[in-house]
Amino acid sequence: MKIKSTTIITIALLNTLGIGQSAFATESIKIKSVIVGPQTGDSSSNFSIKITFINRSDTLQNWQFGFYMPRNFRQTSQSNRKLSMQICETATKHCSQLKYLRANFTDNDLSTVFTTIVTPETDFTLHKGRSYTISLLHNSSRGPLNYSSLPQNLFLRTPDKIINITTSPQSYQITNFNADITESQTQKRIQDNWNNSAPNNESTSIIIPTPTQIIYNDESGRFPLNQQLVIHDLSNNSSSQTLLWQQALQQDLKIEAKIDKKKTNDGIILQTIRKDPDSSPEAYRLQITPTQIIVQASNPAGFFYALQSLRQLWFKQNSLLLLTIEDAPRFKYRGILLDVARHYFTPDQIKNFIDIMAAAKLNTLHLHLSDDEAFRLELTDYPELTTIGAQRGLGLPIGPLSWPQKNLSQASDKLPNADSVYSGSYSKEQIQDLISYANLHQITIIPEIDIPGHSRALMKALPDSFHEAGDNSEYAGYGNNSIPVCEFNSDSTLGKKFTTDLTNILTQSAQLFNQQTTLYAINNELSIGGDEVFKGTWDDAPSCQIAPWNKMTSLQKEHYFLDTLNNNPTISQLKLSGWHEFILTHEGQINSKHSIKANETGHVWVWGKSSEVQSKAITLANNNYPVVLEYSDYSYFDMTYTPQLKEPGLYWASKFGDTNASLSAAVAATNTQQQSNKPENIIGLEGALWADVIPDYTQLQYMALPKLAGLAEASWSAESVTDIQGRADWQSLSYRLGCGKSGFLAYLNTTFQANYRGYPYGIAQEAPMLCHANEVTQ
**Burial (CB count <10 Å: 0-12, 13-18, 19+), residue 756:** buried
Cis peptide bond upstream of 679, omega within 30: no
Distance separating alpha carbons of residues 338 and 690, to the nearest angstrom: 7
Torsion angle in degrees (nearest 10) through CA of 427, 432, 434, 438: 160
Instruction: Say what the pLDDT of residue 219 is.
Output: 81
610 and 602 Cβ atoms separated by less than 8 Å: no
CB 96 within 8 A of CB 124: yes
Sign of CA dihedral 510, 512, 514, 518: negative
Q: Strand 47-55 relative to strand 131-139: parallel, antiparallel, unpaired?
A: antiparallel
The answer to whether the CB of 27 falls within 8 A of the CB of 166 is yes
- pLDDT for residue 729: 95
Question: Amino acid identity, residue 158?
Answer: T
Residue 706, preceding bond cis, omega within 30 degrees? Answer: yes
The pLDDT value recorded for residue 205 is: 80
Residues in CB range of 19: below 8 A, 6 or more apart? 159, 394, 395
- In the prediction, which pLDDT does 349 show? 98
Provide the total of helices (H) and of strands (E) in the chain, helices listed first.
21, 31
Identify the pLDDT of residue 10: 40
Please give the single-letter amino acid code of residue 139: N
Rounded CA-CA distance 146/639 in Å is 12
Cα separation of the two ends of the chain: 25
| Structural contact between residues 589 and 581, judged by C-beta atoms closer than 8 angstroms | no
Q: Half-sphere exposure of residue 755, counting CA atoms within 13 Å on the CB side?
A: 16
Walk along the chain (778 residues) in steps of 10 and give the mean pLDDT of each run: 42 39 62 97 92 96 98 91 96 97 97 97 97 97 95 96 96 97 98 94 80 91 96 96 98 98 96 92 97 97 98 97 97 98 98 98 98 98 98 97 96 94 98 98 98 98 97 93 98 98 98 97 97 96 97 96 96 97 95 90 98 97 98 98 98 97 98 98 98 98 98 97 95 96 97 97 97 51
CA pair distance 341, 303, nearest whole angstrom: 34
How many C-alpha atoms does 60 have within 13 Å on its Cβ side? Answer: 26
DSSP assignment of 175-191 equals TT--HHHHHHHHHHHHH
Residue 772: the pLDDT is 66
Which pLDDT does position 218 carry in this prediction? 83
pTM greater than the 0.75 cutoff: yes
Q: Are strands 627-631 and 601-608 parallel, antiparallel or unpaired?
A: parallel
pLDDT tens for each residue of 128-180: 999 999 999 999 998 999 999 999 999 999 999 999 999 999 999 999 999 99
- Residue 23: the pLDDT is 40
